[in-house]
């Protein structure tokens, strides 16, 4: 009889342990960190759910927080916009941990950095960082400068046309311009084309017109002038900047806009695109290799699109994700599609 009770005890202990031990161990693990721990579960976002288990995280400035990130299905990533913390990959079924400390109060956006389907861009949340003094200050970003397109009063929904001279020369152009040829021609650039601010506020077509008006460049053919224009844009960004732009483009844009910028990326196939503004336009993301369109837009205009997103076109807003530097970086890279048909900043690849 004693044996029977011993057997029952062993059985009970084993079965209870099978349930209690893992749960207890987990409770210990999650409370081990000294900082407040926040668990974020990532899952595939759809039209109703953003994808993060928590959309709003409230922290105190200066206080470190411990993040435990896991994915319930596919590969996701985590990054906080407007900061320079590196992105963290979140592998399915595994836990990624990191400690973050926000120095300045404000409103930060965290977002997914590994493309996880057509709703990947919805996968964003907000981290509200408040002052340690406890005063519930305005949780918005400290007042920053208005973006360039606003200062210039640009209507970024407009579809500017090319000047006739530029238009005509483009139609006679064989292929796309080449920044390499422009560099090889050793033509000296006029002062405007060496001025980053000028380049950002004028279109490539305007640059072409400027060069054509300048008698110093009279012996160049139209094609060669376009090459110089391409060269000017490429030279305005260092190779490091272009490489970073290539990375950002690959991570955040290529899935819709395509690896070659043609707007043929797998995630963009069903988006309304320009059709919202022009019923006759093709569906899908804009074709960044389309010279007629791209040469009529300034960098500031492109920045506006990037910051604000498209109204119903499917283009997400990147204003809360990218710092101003990152915005110019990606735009500098994107210019390469139309100005050379190449991905500037990358080695020759598929």
Binding site for another protein (CB under 8 A): 1, 3-4, 7-8, 10-11, 14-15, 17-19, 22-23, 25-26, 29, 44, 68, 70-75, 91-95, 97, 114-118, 250-251, 253-259, 265-267, 349-350
Question: What whole-number distance in Å separates Cα of residue 221 and Cα of residue 212?
Answer: 9
What order of strands is seen across the sheet that includes strand 76-80? 56-60, 124-130, 106-111, 76-80, 88-90
Q: Tell me the closest approach of the beta carbon of residue 234 to another protein, in angstroms.
A: 22
Decide whether 146 or 350 has the Cβ nearer to another protein.
350
Q: Tell me the closest approach of the beta carbon of residue 117 to another protein, in angstroms.
A: 5
Q: Tell me the closest approach of the beta carbon of residue 31 to another protein, in angstroms.
A: 13
**Long-range own/partner contacts, residues 258-264 (CB < 8 A, 24 or more apart):** 258/285, 259/343, 259/350, 260/289, 260/337, 260/343, 261/287, 261/288, 261/289, 261/334, 261/337, 261/338, 261/343, 262/287, 262/288, 262/289, 263/287, 263/288
Residue written as token pair 């759910």:
49
State whether residue 243 is helix, strand or coil. helix
Backbone angles phi, psi at 184, to 5 degrees: -65, -25
Decide whether 69 or 129 has the Cβ nearer to another protein.
69
Q: Tell me the closest approach of the beta carbon of residue 102 to another protein, in angstroms.
A: 24
Decide whether 279 or 350 has the Cβ nearer to another protein.
350
Decide whether 7 or 278 has the Cβ nearer to another protein.
7
Decide whether 181 or 262 has the Cβ nearer to another protein.
262
Q: Tell me the closest approach of the beta carbon of residue 94 to another protein, in angstroms.
A: 7
């Amino acid at each position: 009889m004693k044996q029977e009770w011993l057997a029952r005890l062993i059985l009970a202990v084993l079965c209870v342990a099978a349930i209690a031990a893992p749960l207890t161990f987990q409770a210990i693990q999650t409370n081990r960190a000294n900082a407040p721990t926040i668990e974020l579960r990532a899952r595939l976002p759809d039209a109703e759910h953003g994808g993060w288990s928590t959309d709003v995280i409230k922290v105190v400035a200066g206080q470190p927080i411990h993040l435990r990130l896991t994915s319930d299905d596919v590969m996701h990533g985590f990054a906080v916009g407007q900061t320079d913390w590196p992105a963290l990959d979140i592998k399915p079924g595994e836990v990624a941990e990191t400690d973050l400390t926000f120095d300045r109060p404000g409103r930060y956006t965290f977002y997914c950095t590994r493309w996880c389907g057509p709703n990947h861009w919805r996968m964003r949340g907000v981290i509200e960082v408040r002052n340690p003094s406890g005063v519930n200050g305005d949780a918005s970003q400290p007042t920053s400068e208005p973006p360039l397109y606003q200062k210039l009063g640009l209507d970024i929904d407009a579809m500017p046309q090319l000047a006739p001279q530029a238009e005509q020369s483009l139609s006679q152009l064989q292929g796309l311009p080449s920044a390499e040829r422009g560099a090889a021609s050793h033509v000296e650039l006029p002062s405007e084309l060496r001025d980053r601010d000028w380049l950002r506020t004028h279109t490539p077509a305007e640059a072409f017109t400027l060069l054509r008006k300048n008698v110093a460049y009279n012996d160049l053919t139209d094609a060669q002038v376009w090459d110089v224009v391409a060269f000017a844009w490429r030279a305005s960004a260092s190779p490091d900047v272009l490489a970073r732009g290539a990375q950002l483009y690959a991570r955040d844009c290529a899935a819709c806009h395509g690896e070659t910028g043609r707007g043929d990326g797998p995630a963009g196939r069903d988006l309304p695109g320009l059709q919202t503004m022009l019923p006759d336009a093709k569906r899908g993301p804009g074709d960044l290799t389309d010279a007629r369109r791209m040469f009529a837009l300034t960098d500031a205009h492109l920045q506006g699109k990037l910051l604000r997103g498209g109204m119903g076109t499917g283009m997400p807003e990147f204003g809360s994700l990218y710092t101003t530097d990152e915005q110019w970086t990606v735009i500098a890279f994107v210019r390469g599609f139309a100005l050379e048909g190449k991905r500037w900043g990358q080695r020759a690849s598929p």
